[in-house]
Amino acid sequence: MKVKSIGLIGLGMVAGVAASLQFSAIAQKTPGGAPLPLDELRQLADVYGLIKTDYVEPVEDKKLLSEAITGMVASLDPHSVYLDKKAYREMKESMQGRFVGLGIEVAMEDGYVKIVTPIEDSPAFRAGVKAGDLITRIDNTPIKGMSLDEAIKKMRGAPKSRVVLTIARKGEDKPWIVPLLREEIRVQSVKAKMVEPGYAWIRISQFQEQTVEDMAKKVSALYAQDPKIKGIVLDLRNDPGGLLPGAIGVSAAFLPHDKEIVSTVGQIADQNQTFYGRREFYSQRSNSDPLAKLPASLKTVPMIVLVNTGSASASEIVAGALQDYKRAIIMGSQTFGKGSVQTLRQLTADTAVKLTTARYYTPEGRSIQAKGIVPDMLVDETAEGDGANSLRVREADLEKHLSDGSGKDAKTQVKTRRDELEEEQRAASFARSRKPLEFGSKDDFQLAQALNHFKGLPVKLAVADSKLDKDDTKDVPDALPAAPPELKKDVKKDVKK
């Protein structure tokens, strides 16, 4: 059986997943040559036999084996899952930027489904569902006791079909009942416009197969509109990740040719790789280079990258690379912290396992896993504070999350429970009082602060900026100069293989 693999680095929890796989593919020895644990396998066979003979009612073989495989893979970390025919098809559709569902990125927490990020312009987003919300029931069926795969499967369905979510929100006394209609979600990967004369805004909402090509077209159109762009804001807020080639290509567009973008370190040799800003790493669908005709000034134009707690995985790769080379100032809130690579191992023509196979590292050898990218300039979501962003779940909050590989837990700010409750209540109260933020609009506070920095005007920093550990911050210039074409800074690599 030929096994194919596709590198995935997104949160990857939009499509429903279940399991159905035959045990016939199990070999006599593990890939590393060590013998299989026969005693444990006998116990598994014994339990299987007991269920078949003694359980109160008959159970299908397929169900038992499928659930065993599902549980085995799901026990590893929050991002490893087994995909049956339906789930595998939905996964491929989501990589192409389209799928049927509610439009939410989710994770499991304390037995409930927690919203990581609502996707822009989706049914959930329009209904006011926010990051940090807990789904406690689906069509009045309690979530408690379900696997994440089962919960996601219940939220998927035919277009225009109805589903009712019961949501618990921090700071609210009563649950919130939300009726939603499923629809085909088409994620527009790249948006771009001139927000002011001389200043461009490029938003990437998700890294898909066509992201690099789409961004190149949008950038070319911006330069046709204004050949003398003075500053670019790359907006990666609420970008949950996606495909690795997209992250490499976006980074390469703003960096000199052939610079290292990211490296991965895992157990097997093909996961210990370094990826560079070359066409073969970001554009394998054609022989042409989508970045070849972009203006040379794109490599040096002053640049700010906006991130928040919803920025994960591929977006963290881009932010980390541009930060390491001092190519751009990173502004906003600390990112999600998903620094692991999921590889889609195709088992049959229509089934696969999405398995965590490596950690990724920035050009300076920094692991992002369970920590994230700390902005050069911490700026709250609004002038009044960080709002709902402060309620978001992060990788380090997820049950069974992978460590950063250093043997140490990710640093967290020590707070008392009273501090946490007061902060949650303030943020929840604020979130209830306003509509979902439209990124790139005239009311976008963080974007306004980015434009202020370009112009040398005062920037309103978050109060927490003064409390950051000095080791977590980068030197931030008073003004934002253009990056030198050669980026002479030597980037040191200290990844322990």
Encode pLDDT of 375-418 as tens digits: 999 999 998 888 766 667 788 888 788 988 877 654 444 344 34
Do residues 66 and 21 make contact, with C-beta atoms less than 8 angstroms apart? yes
Helices (H), 353-416: none
Helices (H), 131-210: 148-155
Residue in 313, 333, 367, 390 annotated catalytic: 313
CB-based contacts of 229, cutoff 8 Å, min separation 6: 198, 199, 200, 222, 223, 297, 301
Map residue 24 onto helix, strand or coil. helix
Closest CA to 315 of 373, 236, 380, 252: 236
Closest CA to 15 of 133, 153, 122, 138: 153
State phi, psi for 183 to the nearest 5 degrees: -150, 165
Residues 4-25, buried b or exposed e (16+ Cβ, 10 A)?
Answer: eebbbbbbbbbbbbbbbbeeee
Q: Residue 266 and residue 435: Cα distance in Å, rounded?
A: 43
Q: Residue 90 and residue 383: Cα distance in Å, rounded?
A: 39
Tokens of 412: 């967290």
Give residue 227's pLDDT.
95
Whether residue 338 lies in the annotated active site: yes
Q: Residue 170 and residue 133: Cα distance in Å, rounded?
A: 7
Pairing of strands 104-109, 112-118: antiparallel
Establish how many alpha carbons lie within 13 A of residue 273's alpha carbon, considering only the half-sphere containing its beta carbon.
12
Residue in 154, 338, 354, 371 annotated catalytic: 338
Closest CA to 242 of 184, 313, 337: 313
Give residue 107's pLDDT.
77
Whether residue 147 lies in the annotated active site: no
Do residues 389 and 381 make contact, with C-beta atoms less than 8 angstroms apart? yes
Whether residue 313 lies in the annotated active site: yes
Closest CA to 247 of 262, 233, 259: 262
8-state DSSP, 270: G
Residue in 324, 376, 380, 386 annotated catalytic: 324
Give residue 220's pLDDT.
97
pLDDT along the chain (497 residues), means of 10: 40 28 29 75 94 96 86 90 83 70 81 82 89 90 84 88 92 89 87 97 93 96 97 95 93 97 92 95 84 96 96 96 98 94 85 90 95 95 79 79 75 43 50 66 96 97 58 46 40 39
Q: Residue 468 and residue 65: Cα distance in Å, rounded?
A: 49
